[in-house]
Amino acid sequence: MYCDTFDLADAAPPLEFTPAEYRIKWATLPWESDGAYALRRAVFCIEQGIFVGDDRDEIDAHARLLVALSCVAGMPEQVVGTVRIHESAPRAWLGSRLAVHAAFRSHGRLGSTLIRLAVCSAHALGCDTFHAHVQGQNVPLFRRLHWQTVAEETLFGRLHHRMQADLAWYPPCHTPESGFVTSGARGHS
């Protein structure tokens, strides 16, 4: 499906309530992966116009996909955030394609919790360094989360910061399939 024919409203239903909690975890079910890819298309193709058609690439074949799920009565209901991680070299990991649905960007610190699980789960798998290419508007969030810029690069026609996580702030998480639960209270993601 091409982005110019894809309606952002089709990516997720409108926000009718504020979930009490969110589960951030590795995607383990097909609907979670499908929802993550649909959200990425909505954010990176429609909203930002970075890609035409689809943002998927060869990295998706071996990357770990993480999702933020809104919960109703404790049960996962909808994918509202995602990020992918992969080992780019021995013991060196890279995070990319961080996306949070526009209607949920001020709910429960979803972006920061996705980042935390991404780094903590890679750390548990032997990560010595964790990098991400971060769009300029997201650099302050990453700095608050103990990342530093190591270089600036232009990717897809936009300035990105290559940033590195301070692993001392990210203890290993050995249960990424269960992940973390965060409250639905409003706060910056």
Distances in whole angstroms, Cα of residue 38 to Cα of each of 57, 62, 79: 14, 18, 9
Which token pair is 83?
């990020």
Cα–Cα distance for residue pair 35/37, rounded to 1 Å? 6
Which region, left, alpha or beta, applies to residue 117 given φ > 0 means left and ψ of -120 to 50 means alpha? alpha
Query: Model confidence over 44-82: pLDDT tens digits?
Result: 999 999 999 999 999 999 999 999 999 988 889 999 999
* Superfamily of domain 3-8+19-175 in the CATH hierarchy: Gcn5-related N-acetyltransferase (GNAT) (3.40.630.30)
Query: Model confidence over 81-92: pLDDT tens digits?
Result: 999 999 999 999
For tokens 């109703």, the residue is: 72
Rounded mean pLDDT of 109-127? 97
Dihedral sign of CA atoms 121, 127, 129, 133 in order: negative
Query: Model confidence over 139-179: pLDDT tens digits?
Result: 999 999 999 999 999 998 889 999 999 999 999 999 999 99
